[in-house]
Amino acid sequence: MSAGCLLRQAALVLLISLVGACGNSSVSAPPPGAPRATVLNASLSSPWGMAFLPDGRMLVTQKGGTMVILSADGARVEATVSGIPAVVDSGQGGLLDVVLDPDFDAQTNPWVYWSYAEAGSGGSGTAVARGRLVGAALQDVAVIFRQLPKLSGSGHFGSRLAFRADKTLFVTLGERMRDDPFSPGLQYAQDVATLLGKVVRIHRDGSTPADNPQLGSPGALPQIWSYGHRNPQGAAIHPVSGELWVSEHGPQGGDELNRVLAGGNYGWPIRSYGCPYGMPVGDTCRVGGGRHAPTYVEPVSFWVPTSIAPAGLMFYTGERFPDWRGSAFVGALADKALWRVALNGNVEVSREGLFGELGERIRDVRQGPDGWIYLLTDSGKLIRVER
C-alpha cells in the first residue's frame, strides 16, 4: 500500500472515531451564541407590515402606498407590486398590514389581504382589500371591509390583520384619536354602533360570521368581536389556545398586551393604566383609577409610567431560540426596543427589552420560515435576529 493510501486510511479512522465521540451523549454541544441583530436591508421606505411567501421571499408594505417583494435573503427588492388602490399617506395612515390567505398557493389560490387608510365621505378610515398575486401584480382587487364612520385626522388607524384557525379574519381598528378621558360624551370605542376602537371578525369575502358575539345593544354592528380599544397596532394568534392577542397604545403610559375575548370590553376611554397627556408622570392620574376589573377586561401586561408605543406582535414557536419558545414579542416605537414577554399560560412571568442599543423604532416583528425573528423599522431596515 502506498504512503498516500496509508495516510488517507489513517485519516478515515480518525474521522470515524471523532464521529463516534460526537454521538456520545456524555459529550455536550457548545453553548449557543447570544442573539444578535443583522441588518439585511436598509433601503426600504417606512415599512409597516410583512408576510413570507412559500418560497421564502417577503411581501413588505411601505406606508407611502407601495408593496414590494424582497428576495428570500431580504437583501434586494425584486419587484414593486402593482394594483394597490389609492392610499391616504398622512400621519399614522398609509399602506399598513399584509397577510396571505390561510390556503395561499401561488398557482391555485394566490390571495393576499392588506389594510390601508382610505379616503371617503367625512375624511378617511381603515379599509381592507384583497387581490390575487400573479407575478408582481394584484388582480381581481376588491375592498372587503371599511371602517365607519370616516373621520378627519390622521391618527389611530390600528390596522393589524390576523387569520384565525377557522380562516376568519381579525382586523384591529383604532378610535381615530376621538376619545378623550376628560370628555365622557366622546366614547366612540364604547359605542358598538360604530367601528371605531374595535376588533372585527369577518370572512375572507368580507361577510360577517354568524357566530360573532351578540353584544345585546341596540344598533350593535355584527362585525364587532371586541371593543373599548384605543389603537391596537399588533395582533397575533396564540399558538396553543388559538385566541387572538393584541398590543395597543395607551395614552401617556398604559400600553397594553391583551388577550382578546369574544364580546370583551377593554375599557378605553373609561379605564387605562396610563394618564391623560400633559399630566405629571405617576399613578395618581390613571384614567378611571386604572384597574379594569370587574367591569372591563384586565390586560395581560401593561407598561407604565411612560409609553413604549407597541407596534407588531408575535408568538415565538421555532427551534432557533428554545428558551424563547412560547414568549410574546412586541415591537416598540417610542422605547426603540423589542420586548419579550415570558408567559405561563395567559399570565406574564417576566419581560425584558432587547436590542435597545440599535436605536430603532420597531414597527413589525415576524417569525420567518427559517425560525429566525425578523424586524421592520421605521428607518427602513429589515433586521434578522439570529445567533
Digits of tens for pLDDT over the chain (387 positions)? 444 443 344 443 333 333 333 333 333 344 468 999 999 999 999 999 999 999 999 999 999 999 999 999 999 999 999 999 999 999 999 999 999 999 999 999 999 999 999 999 999 999 999 999 999 999 999 999 999 999 999 999 999 999 999 999 999 999 999 998 877 677 999 999 999 999 999 999 999 999 999 998 889 999 999 999 999 999 999 999 999 999 999 999 999 999 999 999 999 999 999 999 999 998 999 999 999 999 999 999 999 999 999 999 999 999 999 999 999 999 999 999 999 999 999 999 999 999 999 999 999 999 999 999 999 999 999 999 999
Domains and CATH numbers, the chain: 36-386 (2.120.10.30)
pLDDT at residue 183, rounded to an integer: 74
* pLDDT, tens digit, 9 for 90 and up, residues 142-181: 999 999 999 999 999 999 999 999 999 999 999 999 998 8
pLDDT at 16: 32
User: For 162-217, what is the HEC assignment?
Assistant: EECCCCCEEEECCCCCCCCCCCCCCCHHHCCCCCCCEEEEECCCCCCCCCCCCCCC
Picking from 230, 253, 103, the residue whose alpha carbon sits closest to that of residue 172 is: 230
Q: Look at residue 262 and give its three-state secondary structure.
A: coil
Q: Please identify which residue in the block is written with the cell numbers 478515515.
A: 12
Q: What is the pLDDT of residue 32?
A: 67
Rounded Cα–Cα distance for residues 196 and 229 (Å): 8
Q: Look at residue 1 in the predicted model and tell me its pLDDT.
A: 46
Q: Is 230 exposed, middle or buried (0-12, 13-18, 19+ CB in 10 A)?
A: buried
11 contact partners, CB below 8 Å, separation of at least 6: none
pLDDT for 182? 76
DSSP reduced 3-state for 131:
strand
pLDDT value at position 184? 67
CB contact set of 305 (below 8 Å; sequence gap of 6+): 253, 275, 281, 282, 283
Enter the C-alpha cell of residue 239: 399558538
pTM for the whole structure: 0.91
Read off the amino acid at residue 269.
Answer: P
Dihedral angle computed from the Cα positions of residues 277, 313, 155 and 196, in that order, rounded to the nearest 10 degrees = -100
Output the furthest CA–CA distance in the chain (Å, rounded): 97
Going by C-alpha positions, the residue among 111, 240, 246 that lies closest to residue 170 is 246
- Annotated catalytic residue 156: yes
Catalytic annotation, pick one of 156, 229, 249, 292: 156
Helices (H) and strands (E) in the chain, counts: 1, 24
